[in-house]
């Protein structure tokens, strides 16, 4: 085992009691972390997979069959629409911060501070704001649209941060080369910098999708809880996470709640794998 090897100095080092205790505590903590994760995933998958029955995929929800298919459709719409708003905004904002703003620019400081504030705001506060602003003031009612607007503000700082990091990891020589060949700033940004940073941006957006799918508190009072396939963007509809919350809260459909939990876990697994895959591509492209 690597961790038990002597230090490179070659000096004979005696293990004393406190060192052994520290090492034990450190390893124990890591073991606990992994155990908790494996236990959570294992428990839900083992107990939930049998309930993933064909009826769960029925297009209609009723009290006998708490199907999650309408919720899945709502989730897809919600994700798509939130991204349509937040992704361009976040990417453009990051382009401003990373490519255009000069060092020491006051606007940059303000934007960074507000973005950090946004990322610390609890999702229930977003939900309340969405209810006051989009649902009531803009009169969108409980609707997918109001939910998507609320969520797009919520994931905006996240997309900004990951995109900015991706843009900053593009070497300056790329920009200098392009500018030196006579391309303008805009052309350089879109033709040279963005394509080289695309995998990093994608990794961030995929993680943002995960946040949208997992969100509950911000949606209950903006998108509402109607368990049906929406007619249009102004219809209310619950996403998979909201569906999961209501099933667990009511306690009447534990089996269906299990199945929904399995569905959510599988989605998260897929999303994390995809994001890691995209991130790995950057590493390869760079070397």
For residues 254-273, which are near another protein according to CB under 8 A? 254, 257, 261, 264-265, 268-269, 271-272
The verdict on 166 binding another protein (CB under 8 A) reads no
For another protein, give the closer residue by CB, 232 or 287.
Answer: 287
For another protein, give the closer residue by CB, 59 or 87.
Answer: 87
For another protein, give the closer residue by CB, 196 or 239.
Answer: 239
Using CB under 8 A, which residues numbered 87 to 126 contact another protein? 88-93, 95-97, 99-101, 107, 110-111, 113-118, 120-126
Q: Token pair 């976040």 is at which residue?
A: 90
Q: Tell me the two tokens of residue 113.
A: 């501070």
For another protein, give the closer residue by CB, 224 or 230.
Answer: 224
Minimal distance, residue 228 CB to another protein, in Å: 18
Using CB under 8 A, which residues numbered 197 to 226 contact another protein? 207, 210, 213-217, 220-221
Q: Token pair 């989009």 is at which residue?
A: 134
Minimal distance, residue 169 CB to another protein, in Å: 16
Q: Tell me the two tokens of residue 16.
A: 């004393």
Minimal distance, residue 257 CB to another protein, in Å: 6
Q: Is the dihedral of CA 184, 190, 195, 200 positive or negative?
A: positive
Stretch that binds another protein, among 53-61, 166-174, 182-190, 194-202 (CB under 8 A): 182-190
Residue 194: HSE in the Cβ half-sphere, 13 Å Cα cutoff: 13
Asked if residue 147 lies in contact with residue 123, where contact means CB atoms within 8 angstroms, the answer is no
Contacts of 238 (CB under 8 A, 6+ apart): 70, 71, 74, 219, 223, 224, 225, 226, 227, 246
Minimal distance, residue 207 CB to another protein, in Å: 7
Q: What gap in Å lies between CA 255 and CA 78, rounded to an integer?
A: 25
For another protein, give the closer residue by CB, 41 or 73.
Answer: 41
Using CB under 8 A, which residues numbered 28 to 87 contact another protein? 28-30, 32-34, 36-37, 40-41, 43-44
Q: What is the C-alpha radius of gyration for the chain, rounded to an integer number of angstroms?
A: 24
> How many residues sit in the footprint of another protein (CB under 8 A)?
96
Three-state secondary-structure class, residue 44? helix
224: left (phi over 0), alpha (psi -120 to 50) or beta: left
């Amino acid at each position: 085992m690597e961790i038990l090897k002597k230090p490179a100095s070659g000096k004979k080092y005696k293990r004393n009691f406190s060192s052994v205790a520290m090492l034990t505590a450190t390893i124990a903590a890591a073991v606990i972390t992994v155990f908790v994760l494996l236990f959570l995933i294992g428990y839900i998958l083992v107990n939930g997979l049998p309930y993933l029955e064909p009826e769960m995929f029925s297009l209609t929800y009723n009290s006998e069959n708490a199907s999650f298919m309408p919720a899945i459709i709502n989730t897809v719409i919600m994700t798509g629409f939130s991204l349509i708003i937040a992704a361009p905004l976040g990417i453009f904002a990051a382009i401003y911060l990373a490519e255009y703003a000069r060092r020491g620019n006051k606007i940059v400081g303000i934007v960074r501070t507000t973005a950090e504030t946004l990322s610390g705001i609890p999702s229930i506060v977003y939900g309340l704001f969405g209810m006051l602003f989009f649902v009531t003031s803009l009169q969108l009612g409980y609707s997918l649209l109001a939910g998507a607007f609320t969520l797009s503000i919520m994931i905006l700082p996240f997309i900004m941060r990951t995109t900015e990091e991706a843009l900053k990891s593009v070497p300056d020589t790329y920009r200098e080369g392009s500018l030196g060949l006579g391309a303008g700033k805009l052309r350089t940004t879109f033709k040279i910098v963005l394509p080289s940073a695309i995998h990093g941006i994608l990794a961030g957006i995929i993680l943002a999708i995960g946040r949208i799918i997992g969100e509950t508190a911000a949606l209950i009072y903006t998108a509402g809880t109607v368990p049906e396939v929406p007619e249009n963007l102004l219809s209310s509809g619950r996403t998979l996470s909201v569906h999961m919350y209501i099933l667990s809260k009511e306690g009447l459909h534990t089996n269906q709640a299990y199945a929904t939990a399995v569905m959510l876990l599988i989605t998260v697994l897929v999303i994390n794998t995809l994001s890691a895959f995209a991130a790995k591509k950057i590493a390869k492209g760079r070397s």
